[in-house]
Amino acid sequence: MTIQRIESGDRMSQAVVHNGIVYLAGQVGKPGEDATAQTTEVLAQIDRLLALAGTDKTKILTAQVWLADIADFAAMNAVWDGWVSKGHAPARWTGEAKLATPAYKVEIIVTAVV
């Protein structure tokens, strides 16, 4: 059984690949920026990590989106809708939650096929 850990540290890895599936840790943007900027940064990080795992956003199976304030739903979706590959939208759910610090507005977690 092979497990590949990408950008692994003592606490966590940013991505783990096992049995043809890549699991990304929750990605967040720069603290203090608005939801639009944070979503843009998060999606760029997801693209980068998927590429390191040998895949891309067309292979995403699921996406969990956490917003510190559900009022940012439209702003996050405006960025998401421009990023998601047409015809390859993953199963997705969105919820409101307190994130690691009040400065984070968006966190996204994805699972994809390699």
| Residue-wise pLDDT tens digits, 28-80 | 999 989 999 999 999 999 999 999 999 999 999 999 999 999 999 999 999 99
| pLDDT at residue number 18 | 98
Q: Which residue has the tokens 């850990």?
A: 5
Domains of the chain by start residue, with CATH: 3-113 (3.30.1330.40)
Burial tier of 28 (Cβ tally within 10 Å: 0-12, 13-18, 19+): buried
| Residue-wise pLDDT tens digits, 73-113 | 999 999 999 999 999 999 999 999 999 999 999 999 999 99
